[in-house]
Amino acid sequence: KNQVEQSPQSLIILEGKNCTLQCNYTVSPFSNLRWYKQDTGRGPVSLTIMTFSENTKSNGRYTATLDADTKQSSLHITASQLSDSASYICVVSAIPNFGNEKLTFGTGTRLTIIP
């Protein structure tokens, strides 16, 4: 069964500090891994997308890494801001043969930035 696990479930850090969120997955056949940011009551917004051959990808203060051998990914946030408070969801895409792309969502990490 395809699964995506994220840790920690929740995290509170001071404004200006850095943090790293983790994602482990067992999804086959792997196509790509995405990190989304979701504000409460809003739709998810894509931060990064990485394919099998990519090890790292940055989007401003967000840097995602992917280790396809160990099936692990991380999202590093640098110099956190109050607006970074949100849920961060790891999503892994699979493409079954002759089928539609299937996304497996992690349960998310709830990040709170305090002044």
Supply the DSSP string of 66-82, one letter for each residue: EETTTTEEEEEE-S--G
Pick from 60, 69, 97, 99: which binds another protein (CB under 8 A)?
99
Pick from 2, 3, 18, 107: which binds another protein (CB under 8 A)?
107
Query: Pairing relation of β-strands 10-14 and 109-114?
Result: parallel
Nearest to 19 by CA among 66, 86, 109, 79: 79
Q: Binding of another protein at residue 67 (CB under 8 A)?
A: no
Terminal CA-to-CA distance of the chain, rounded, Å?
Answer: 41
Q: Binding of another protein at residue 64 (CB under 8 A)?
A: no
Pick from 7, 51, 55, 58: which binds another protein (CB under 8 A)?
51
Q: Binding of another protein at residue 46 (CB under 8 A)?
A: yes
**Separation CA 7–CA 40 (nearest Å):** 19
Stretch that binds another protein, among 18-26, 62-70, 75-83, 107-115 (CB under 8 A): 107-115
Sign of CA dihedral 92, 104, 17, 82: positive
Q: Using CB under 8 A as the criterion, which residues of the chain lie in contact with another protein when the complex forms?
A: 31-32, 34, 36, 41-46, 49, 51, 89, 93, 95, 99-101, 103, 105-108, 110
